[in-house]
A and B are shown apart, each in its own frame.
Chain A
């Protein structure tokens, strides 16, 4: 027994116009300062029905903590939104999920956001996610990553009740995405698809989504990087990233995420960059138990990018994209990395990413993988 969960997905050009049909009287728009400055939040406001009152919360930093995410709760409780629209990258969408949780259940602490109990969140407000990056998959997932600055840790909180009701995938909002973020988020999406495809919790739905996601991303990312304004290529990568998100959300992430979250928590490396850094090494590590499935994924890569093994193909495509495969390429010195290794190992061992990774991993394996990316 298992579930396939997904928001209603509105996709393609002009899909933002869906907002006009939303039955909302009081809408909280969650975004970040840059998108607000760029006028995207104003666009969203204009697209909502005329009689809909709005409140904007945009004080969100990269990798926000629980206290930052919930810093406007008093005003939000007074405003009483019936809809929450999240416009932004993964941090923004995750913040909207945490706000929804806190709005519905102010009596609970953040660790009470768990898939193990019914929380009664869904009745409080509808959640609409509009991703402005193509990678995190947060619009299709029931997880939220919450940073803990004091403990230098990224917590992976989850509940099916924070899965967005709608995900709007409009390629127009990603055409202006800078190259660095385009690369980092695409690598994140590829990692989602590959880890979901070999997860011990995989299933027919997650498999189908992972295969198509990888085809759309690897087949179009070169064109997106060559011509960022190519709306068809952007649309393909955007939808592929969302499919990858849905794939991992209905199976599980794996060891590259366990290691990537640890690295990101300590060195503030962008999420996609940090998980991608470990992905080829993790693929090689897992190959002893899932090489058939990796071969299948490798066959999906465009011929020009395909190597003999999936790990080889990943290194090849990452090289063309500018994704680092060694820590020095990610701006981390060997000395500081070596000093942080015990903490990295501990954080990775405590990650939920270990739970459904296809190959069992012990501290010694984590240690070996941390060594692998030293370069």
Chain B
């Protein structure tokens, strides 16, 4: 069972994204990369970036990077580690979590507002990874 966050976990996540028909359907016209930012907190002591190159409903490439080393992305979904744990465990709705300040979403609002269902499904796909936490 891959540990979150790790290269193994990112690989499993990419596999789940590419298996997810609902994501493929809602994001079929999407072109743009994402950085999921896992911010350090009391339980996790180093901020890391999960980079995803997303194109037409599929993830072409994914990777785990230290802060400062991650490729630039069109969108950033960021939150502290403990909130990621709750998100992956399905305790948070990905969009509501942004509206109540548990996560931050940065990038072109014009684009993201047309793909809210895709963005929600992308983040929710993290629930599907069988995950072990540190």
**Bound form: Cα–Cα A355–B116 in Å:** 7
Please tell me the size bucket of the interface on A: 20 to 34
Question: In the complex, what residues of B have CB within 8 A of residue A349's CB?
Answer: 25-26, 117
Which residue of chain A has its CB nearest to the CB of B24?
A362
Measured between C-beta atoms, what is the minimum distance from A117 to chain B in Å?
8
Measured between C-beta atoms, what is the minimum distance from A9 to chain B in Å?
23
Say yes or no: is B1 at the interface (Cβ < 8 Å to chain A). Answer: no
Question: In the complex, what residues of A have CB within 8 A of residue B22's CB?
Answer: 360, 362
State whether A350 touches B95 (Cβ < 8 A): no
A 23-53 contacts with B by CB, 8 A = none
Query: Which of B98, B100, B113, B116 sits near A354, CB closer than 8 Å?
Result: B116
A 325-348 contacts with B by CB, 8 A = none
**Bound form: Cα–Cα A2–B95 in Å:** 12
**Bound form: Cα–Cα A352–B100 in Å:** 17
Main SS of chain B's interface residues? helix
Question: In the complex, what residues of A have CB within 8 A of residue B60's CB?
Answer: none
Query: Which of B93, B99, B120 sits near A115, CB closer than 8 Å?
Result: B99
- Type the 1/0 row for B96-122, where 1 means its CB is closer than 8 Å to any CB of A: 101110101100111001111100100
Say yes or no: is A15 at the interface (Cβ < 8 Å to chain B). Answer: no
Say yes or no: is A267 at the interface (Cβ < 8 Å to chain B). Answer: no
Query: Which of B21, B109, B116, B117 sits near A111, CB closer than 8 Å?
Result: B109
Which residue of chain A has its CB nearest to the CB of B98?
A116
Question: In the complex, what residues of A have CB within 8 A of residue B117's CB?
Answer: 349-350, 354-355
Which residue of chain B has its CB nearest to the CB of A3?
B100
- What number of B residues sit within 8 Å (CB to CB) of A? 22
State whether A350 touches B115 (Cβ < 8 A): yes
**Bound form: Cα–Cα A352–B96 in Å:** 13
State whether B109 touches A112 (Cβ < 8 A): yes
Measured between C-beta atoms, what is the minimum distance from A62 to chain B in Å?
23
**Bound form: Cα–Cα A3–B99 in Å:** 10
> In the complex, which of the residues A2, A352, A355, A360 has the most CB atoms of chain B within 10 Å of its own CB atom?
A355
State whether A114 touches B113 (Cβ < 8 A): yes
Main SS of chain A's interface residues? loop
Question: In the complex, what residues of B have CB within 8 A of residue A3's CB?
Answer: 100
Measured between C-beta atoms, what is the minimum distance from A203 to chain B in Å?
11
State whether A352 touches B109 (Cβ < 8 A): no
State whether B109 touches A200 (Cβ < 8 A): no
Question: In the complex, what residues of B have CB within 8 A of residue A109's CB?
Answer: 110
Query: Which of B93, B102, B109, B114 sits near A116, CB closer than 8 Å?
Result: B109
Which residue of chain B has its CB nearest to the CB of A360?
B22
- Type the 1/0 row for B35-51, where 1 means its CB is closer than 8 Å to any CB of A: 00000000000000000
Query: Which of B21, B96, B104, B115 sits near A2, CB closer than 8 Å?
Result: B96
State whether B109 touches A363 (Cβ < 8 A): no
State whether A2 touches B100 (Cβ < 8 A): yes
Question: In the complex, what residues of A have CB within 8 A of residue B114's CB?
Answer: 350
Say yes or no: is A318 at the interface (Cβ < 8 Å to chain B). Answer: no
Which residue of chain B has its CB nearest to the CB of A364?
B25
Say yes or no: is A201 at the interface (Cβ < 8 Å to chain B). Answer: yes
> In the complex, which of the residues B108, B110, B120 has the most CB atoms of chain A within 10 Å of its own CB atom?
B110
State whether B116 touches A116 (Cβ < 8 A): no
State whether A352 touches B113 (Cβ < 8 A): yes
Measured between C-beta atoms, what is the minimum distance from A158 to chain B in Å?
9
**Bound form: Cα–Cα A200–B96 in Å:** 11
**Bound form: Cα–Cα A156–B109 in Å:** 12
- Type the 1/0 row for A355-375, where 1 means its CB is closer than 8 Å to any CB of B: 100001011000000000000
Which residue of chain B has its CB nearest to the CB of A365?
B25
Question: In the complex, what residues of B have CB within 8 A of residue A155's CB?
Answer: 113
State whether B25 touches A111 (Cβ < 8 A): no
**Bound form: Cα–Cα A261–B37 in Å:** 34
**Bound form: Cα–Cα A360–B95 in Å:** 15
State whether A352 touches B26 (Cβ < 8 A): no
Question: In the complex, what residues of A have CB within 8 A of residue B120's CB?
Answer: 355
**Bound form: Cα–Cα A350–B27 in Å:** 9
Question: In the complex, what residues of A have CB within 8 A of residue B21's CB?
Answer: 362
Given A116-B98, A352-B116, 10 extra CB contacts under 8 A: A111-B113, A116-B99, A156-B113, A157-B113, A349-B26, A349-B117, A352-B113, A355-B95, A355-B120, A360-B22
Q: Name 19 A/B residue pairs within 8 A (Cβ), A-sorted.
A: A1-B100, A2-B100, A109-B110, A111-B110, A111-B113, A114-B109, A115-B99, A116-B98, A116-B105, A155-B113, A201-B93, A350-B114, A350-B115, A354-B116, A354-B117, A355-B95, A355-B116, A355-B120, A360-B22
Nearest first, the 7 closest Cβ-Cβ pairs linking A and B are A111-B110, A350-B114, A354-B117, A111-B109, A114-B109, A362-B25, A1-B100
